[in-house]
Structure 1
Amino acid sequence: MPRDTLTRDQIVRAAIDLMDAEGLEGLNMRALGKRLNAAATAMYWHVTNKDNLVLLATDRVWGELTLPDLEAAGWRTAATAMATDLYAMFTRHPWLVQVLAAHLVYGQSKARHDDHHLAVYETAGFTGDQADRATAAVFTYVLGNAAGTAATASLSRKLTGEQFHDAMNSAQQIAMGYPRLRARLRTPAADDYAAAPDQSFEFGLQALLDGLERHLTV
């Protein structure tokens, strides 16, 4: 594709698709050019450099998030919806976890989301620094849960199926030496030693919101 027929939008969308498939480490101008049937140098007519492209792609996917109507929903319903939507975004695009560890992330879509996130907790009754701490606690919880998905995606690209299977077997053998881990592994539901129990995210999120709600009554 000649450079004069490329658009920034096409490049950003292709970068997202490439990182979804190959992770942040898979993004480079040569691979992107191949995906777009264009010379690698053609990318630089539309984006400054790789870091600039990563920020554009990140803000694009942040725009996928839905902002709940605070007049139609209570603050806890809105907080749950935003956290769940954010978690789903991270699991759709696991490379975002890598980006947050390596880049200062900003953009219009992220600012729009962050502003609305603060509004949720201000609606609940948190003020000033309290609202900042509440949103930070929930965001950190979501990001921590998404880190497992990102790690699994990264390992699946680096390890063969046999290597992954061998590593899991080794982990299980070590775990069998500890009574509580051994008991967990012997339950019918323990198909995967590394897997979290069903509905762990939902359980933890509601427990976190319970704690935040109690702060409002102190």
Structure 2
Amino acid sequence: MNLRVAVYDDSDALRESLEFLIGSAPGITLAGLYAGCENIISDLAENNADVVLMDIDMPGINGIQATALVKSHYPDVNVLILTAFDDSAKIFEALHSGATGYLLKKTPPAKILEAIAEISNGGAPMTANIARKVLDFFSTKKTEPANSYDLSSREKEVLSCLVKGESYKMITVSCAISIGTVCTHISNIYKKLHVNSKSEAVAKAIMENLTDH
């Protein structure tokens, strides 16, 4: 096993810790350390990473948006979320954007290395309480997609894009509409769903099965 791992996190201290951890682990090579995701597609073209350790809360392109970008360009690259967020909205946004695993930053170093090996062998490593939330969600009886909020077909399409972790700019491409129209649709979605943020809209869409994705 010689896995190449790239790290994306805006914390200097954490990047340094992961650099030491990965650099000292047998069978794992550090492919790169990055404080942001603006150039993640070109980064991966150069570093040939097999696994990406991805923080969520980063300036510019966040980790969920970056995960969607990675999976659209490099579907064989595994993204392992490493974050402080353990709320359901972030978990489901990350998984829907294509993340294969989800760990909290308080995970012991040895467990992070185990997760890297596990994810490369077809596993989906998750911190225990994260896995429980996912299992609780899927064990809940789902209903057929409903439109009790009177969402238009276009609004449902835009909402589906949000669920997949797409940015406003990515939605303009997916739906072939202008950025202004995207903003209008999202504003209307927030009003109809009675939410105030993207995370709340995505969580509600997933929990109430409002889209086909």
Task: Please report the TM-score for the alignment, with normalisation by the length of structure 1.
Answer: 0.34
Higher helix share: 1
**Structure of larger gyration radius:** 1
Higher strand share: 2
Task: Please report the TM-score for the alignment, with normalisation by the length of structure 2.
Answer: 0.34
